[in-house]
């Protein structure tokens, strides 16, 4: 299923973005990488993604704010929130705001792939 599917990976941990991006590319995805909320917004203005994997806590912008902007500018892009600082309240807020899923770090690659593929299958 991943062939020709584009992901946008957004996290302010540069090493994490590099490693996870490489692992997702090995699984056949095309991966756009952003290390800040502002970079992600710029990328999404000029490019498209089927699924964005978005960190909740970043230095420059709160992931919830980025999610709200994504919902307005690219409603066709599904968003998976990813965080090392999860709470049930944050999860409910993210899902209510339009996230398709909510995962906590550390997140196994297989768990993330299941979430991505489930979204892609639903969206056709």
CB 55 within 8 A of CB 83: yes
Domain regions of the chain by residue span: 6-123
Q: How far is the C-alpha of 1 from the C-alpha of 29, rounded, in Å?
A: 9
Choice between 29 and 60, residue whose per-residue pLDDT is larger: 29
Superfamily of structural domain 6-123: Response regulator (3.40.50.2300)
pTM of the entire predicted model:
0.94
Residue-wise pLDDT tens digits, 43-82: 999 999 999 999 999 998 999 999 999 999 999 999 999 9
Residue-wise pLDDT tens digits, 92-121: 999 999 999 999 999 999 999 999 999 999
């Amino acid at each position: 299923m991943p062939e020709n599917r584009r992901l946008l990976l957004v996290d302010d941990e540069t090493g994490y973005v590099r490693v996870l991006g490489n692992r997702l590319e090995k699984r056949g995805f095309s991966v756009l990488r952003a290390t800040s909320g502002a970079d992600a917004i710029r990328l999404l203005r000029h490019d498209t993604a089927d699924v964005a994997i978005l960190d909740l806590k970043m230095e420059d912008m709160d992931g919830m704010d980025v999610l709200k902007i994504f919902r307005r500018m690219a409603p066709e892009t599904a968003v998976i929130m990813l965080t090392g600082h999860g709470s049930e309240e944050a999860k409910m807020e993210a899902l209510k705001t339009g996230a398709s899923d909510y995962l906590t770090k550390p997140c196994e690659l297989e768990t993330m792939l299941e979430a991505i593929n489930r979204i892609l299958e639903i969206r056709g």
